[in-house]
Amino acid sequence: MLELAASLNRATPELMWIAAVGLNSQWTDKLITIEAYTDVCYNRMRPFIHKFSPRSAPKANDLLRVSFDKELPLAMYPHWSLYRAMMVNEHFACKTKNWTQKGDSDVKHLLANLGLTLNETKQKFEAMSSNRKKEVTDTLEKEMASSFASFIAHLGYCNRVNAADVARGVAARLETPRKQPLLERFESAQSVLLSFMDGTGDFMQMLKTFELYKANSDIVESRHFLFSFAHFLLRAFAVLRRGRTARPLIITFPLGGDMQGWNLVTGVMPLNTVYEDNHQKR
pLDDT digits (tens, 9 = 90+) for 205-258: 666 667 666 666 677 778 888 888 888 888 888 888 877 788 888 988 888 777
Give the C-alpha separation, 179 to 218, whole Å. 9
Q: Is residue 158 part of a domain?
A: yes
Using the 8-state DSSP alphabet, how is residue 156 labeled?
Answer: T
Q: How many domains does the chain have?
A: 3
- Cβ pair 208, 218 in contact under 8 A: no
Q: Is residue 280 part of a domain?
A: no
Q: Is residue 239 part of a domain?
A: yes
Are 153 and 243 part of one and the same domain? no
Are 172 and 199 part of one and the same domain? yes
Q: What is the pLDDT of residue 111?
A: 93
Neighbouring CB atoms inside 10 A of 25's CB total 20
3-state secondary structure of 253: strand
Are 64 and 183 part of one and the same domain? yes
Are 59 and 117 part of one and the same domain? no
Are 210 and 241 part of one and the same domain? no
pTM for the predicted model, two decimal places: 0.84
Q: What pLDDT digit, counting tens, does each position of 139-157 carry?
A: 999 999 878 899 988 776 6
Are 138 and 243 part of one and the same domain? no
Are 131 and 5 part of one and the same domain? no
Q: Is residue 276 part of a domain?
A: no
Q: Is residue 282 part of a domain?
A: no
Q: Is residue 264 part of a domain?
A: yes
Q: Using 50 as the pLDDT threshold, list the residues of the chain that sit under it.
A: 282
Per the structure, the complete domain to which residue 172 belongs is given by 1-71+149-214
